[in-house]
Amino acid sequence: MAIKKVSRYKIIKSVFDFFLSFDHEASNHKIIKDVNDFCYKMLNVKYTGLYIDDEGRNEVISLKQDITRMEFNSELTDKIKRDNRIYGGEISKDFTLIPQFEAENRLKYLLVIPLTNKNKHFGFLFFYGTDPQTFNDFSVKVLKLLTKVLSLTIGEKKLYREMEQRVAELITLQNVSNFVNATLDFEKLLDVSLDALVGLIGLRTCSIVLFTDKLFDDIYTRKQNTLIASLDMSKEIVLDLSSGIYKELSRKKKVIAGKVSFDDDLSKIIPLDNIEEGKEIEYIIVPVTRGKELIGSINIFSMDKGHLPILQHSFLESFANQFSVALQNALLYKKQEEMANRDGLTGLYNHAYFQNRLHLLLKQENKHPLTLIIMDIDNFKQVNDRFGHLVGDKVLKELAHLLKHNLREGDLIARYGGEEFAIILPETELKQGEFIAKRLRKLISDNEIVLDNNRSLYITVSIGVAQYNKKWSQEEFIDKADQALYKAKEAGKNRVTLA
């Protein structure tokens, strides 16, 4: 095909016309289309493309969509970034940018001109030709001028986007800071923090990981019971902090970012299903610390190469610090609330909490039938008189421990007062409640309480059981179970009586 020849005068005039009509507000894709059309028509440039290197996030824009999916020669892209100068010449094995594209289209000549804004490199324009005269001195001067204008345009747009991002980050931090002082609710804190992250980043693939052994029980083992929360799910798993990403995070306690192949370990903390094993995942993981101790992390993932938003690590660290403060405040409040609801000796719920919880359950008809057990230790005064109050306390704690480990999830156990204990059984009829009460009575009477000096002690309990009747008030319901308890006492103790 004959090479088009255009006079220099016409080219210079076209350059000025192009600049006058140039739309600085257009998208980068539209800009590259206009540049490609101009270069093809005026300078015989076969293909034009834009490569943006935005702090590690690479974006390729070209009218040839195949290019965006092809691998670039990293050696040349690194050299362009490092030297920040023009590279051009005949394509060879030593000078190549997109080997596959160049071979498929039989391209022979390449010119690469870096994009800079305030002396900072942020990418380059690349031009392909098939004729040695395509990139003569005059053409190169025109393309350099064109690149300079594009550097200013794209650079300003990039700066504006960064400014918008920083403003959004500051607003998010302010909102999180306000929330620190507005809530002491643990679950609500997780929800709002995730909402803030997803709203800012635009990806639902965010999760918050918390090492619950450390947080709630001050257990600092290598393997940690762990809560993983995202907008779409919440689950508990066991994580080994001595391997993988968390080994690095535990050691550095700084933001880590990179790419990793998806595997079974990573699948535990990514809030998505149906990801192919071996698929490359981009990640940013931000430590959440309490003092010098790692207590969790904020995680951001992307499965689309180059699509992970560029967030300032300083912003993410500030976000994590705000979250950590709010988290510790919420946990402190939760512990104080727990202490207020618990009996100090046995760790069971106290009388006040029992009354409040029973009041709520009586209103929740989906929890009916509702059965109440009240039990009393037989001859407990004699235990105190014979063995002393320390042994009496031991008996109460042993009984509490036995009850906690032999009832169903959802049953509520409380120390009702002195040596009396109350158990609320939701969704339980009287007959089933009787069966549970008889099983507990036998477990208690068979349980050996070991004392010092090779001594041991056995205790028995008397139990009253009542099923709620809608005609009764709360006080009447409790009184029915209490009356049944006293009938058991009068009948000889160590037995179960129904109301």
pLDDT of residue 273: 59
173, part of any domain: no
Residues 117 and 222 in one domain: no
Residues 237 and 367 in one domain: no
How far apart (Å, rounded) are the C-alpha atoms in residues 117 and 284? Answer: 27
346, part of any domain: no
pLDDT of residue 274: 60
Mean pLDDT is highest, among 45-54, 113-122, 154-163, 366-375, for 366-375
Residues 437 and 305 in one domain: no
What is the Cβ-side half-sphere exposure of residue 457, based on CA atoms within 13 angstroms?
A: 22
Q: Give the confidence band of 487 by pLDDT, cuts at 50, 70, 90.
A: very high
pLDDT of residue 343: 92
Distances (CA, A) of 54 to 109, 125, 253, 257, 310: 27, 14, 25, 15, 8
pLDDT of residue 426: 94
pLDDT of residue 288: 92
420, part of any domain: yes
Are residues 463 and 437 in contact, defined by beta-carbon separation less than 8 angstroms? yes
Indicate if the pLDDT at residue 251 is higher than 70: yes
State both tokens at 346. Answer: 């046995």
Residues 332 and 371 in one domain: no
- Compute the average pLDDT of residues 216-231: 84
Residues 273 and 317 in one domain: yes
- Residue pLDDT, tens place only, 76-116: 999 998 898 999 999 999 999 999 999 999 999 999 999 88
pLDDT of residue 111: 95
Residues 333 and 209 in one domain: yes
Residues 17 and 156 in one domain: yes
From 284, 306, 340, the end of a domain falls on 340
Is the peptide bond prior to 114 cis by the omega test (within 30 degrees of 0)? no
262, part of any domain: yes
From 292, 312, 340, the end of a domain falls on 340
pLDDT of residue 433: 96
| Cα 214 versus chain centre, distance | 17
Q: Which residues pair with 234 in a beta bridge?
A: 229
SS (H, E, C) 15-68: HHHHHHHCCCCCCHHHHHHHHHHHHHHHHCCCEEEEEEEECCEEEEEECCHHHH
CATH number at residue 103: 3.30.450.40
pLDDT of residue 301: 83
pLDDT of residue 360: 92
How does DSSP assign 179-212, residue by residue?
HHTT---HHHHHHHHHHHHHHHH--S-EEEEEEH
345, part of any domain: no
State the DSSP code for 255: -
Mean pLDDT is highest, among 149-163, 205-219, 287-301, for 287-301
167, part of any domain: no
pLDDT of residue 2: 44
How far apart (Å, rounded) are the C-alpha atoms in residues 124 and 97? Answer: 12
| φ, ψ dihedrals at 285, nearest 5° | -125, 125
Indicate if the pLDDT at residue 26 is higher than 80: no
Indicate if the pLDDT at residue 372 is higher than 50: yes
Indicate if the pLDDT at residue 170 is higher than 90: no
From 307, 340, 373, the end of a domain falls on 340
State the DSSP code for 342: B
Residues 421 and 334 in one domain: no
- Residue pLDDT, tens place only, 269-278: 776 556 666 6
Higher pLDDT, 35 or 307: 35
State both tokens at 250. Answer: 């535990």
Indicate if the pLDDT at residue 380 is higher than 90: yes
pLDDT of residue 148: 87
pLDDT of residue 494: 97
pLDDT of residue 3: 45
Higher pLDDT, 414 or 311: 414
How far apart (Å, rounded) are the C-alpha atoms in residues 151 and 61? Answer: 15
Torsion on CA atoms 147, 150, 151, 154, rounded to nearest 10: -150
368, part of any domain: yes
State both tokens at 420. Answer: 């009396």
Indicate if the pLDDT at residue 56 is higher than 60: no
Q: Is 210 exposed, middle or buried (0-12, 13-18, 19+ CB in 10 A)?
A: buried
State both tokens at 204. Answer: 């639902």
* Position 233, amino acid: M
Q: Any idea which residue has 């179960």 for tokens? A: 496
Percent above pLDDT 70 for the chain: 88
Q: Give the confidence band of 338 by pLDDT, cuts at 50, 70, 90.
A: confident
Indicate if the pLDDT at residue 135 is higher than 70: yes
State both tokens at 36. Answer: 């490609």
Are residues 417 and 353 in contact, defined by beta-carbon separation less than 8 angstroms? no
Structural domain total, the chain:
3
Helices (H), 93-185: 99-104, 137-180
210, part of any domain: yes
Are residues 225 and 295 in contact, defined by beta-carbon separation less than 8 angstroms? no
Mean pLDDT is highest, among 117-121, 159-163, 330-334, for 330-334
Residues 78 and 132 in one domain: yes
- Residue pLDDT, tens place only, 342-353: 998 999 999 999
pLDDT of residue 495: 96
End-to-end Cα, the chain, rounded Å: 104
Residues 289 and 319 in one domain: yes
pLDDT of residue 306: 56
| Full residue range of the structural domain in which residue 330 is found | 183-340
Residues 263 and 399 in one domain: no
Q: Give the confidence band of 233 by pLDDT, cuts at 50, 70, 90.
A: confident
Torsion on CA atoms 324, 330, 336, 340, rounded to nearest 10: -160
Higher pLDDT, 159 or 456: 456
Pairing of strands 496-498, 461-467: parallel
How far apart (Å, rounded) are the C-alpha atoms in residues 437 and 458? Answer: 18
pLDDT of residue 441: 97
Indicate if the pLDDT at residue 34 is higher than 60: yes
Indicate if the pLDDT at residue 479 is higher than 90: yes
Higher pLDDT, 74 or 118: 74
Residues 142 and 17 in one domain: yes
Percent above pLDDT 90 for the chain: 42
Are residues 250 and 289 in contact, defined by beta-carbon separation less than 8 angstroms? no
pLDDT of residue 179: 64
Strand runs labelled E in 370-459: 371-377, 412-417, 420-425, 449-450, 456-457
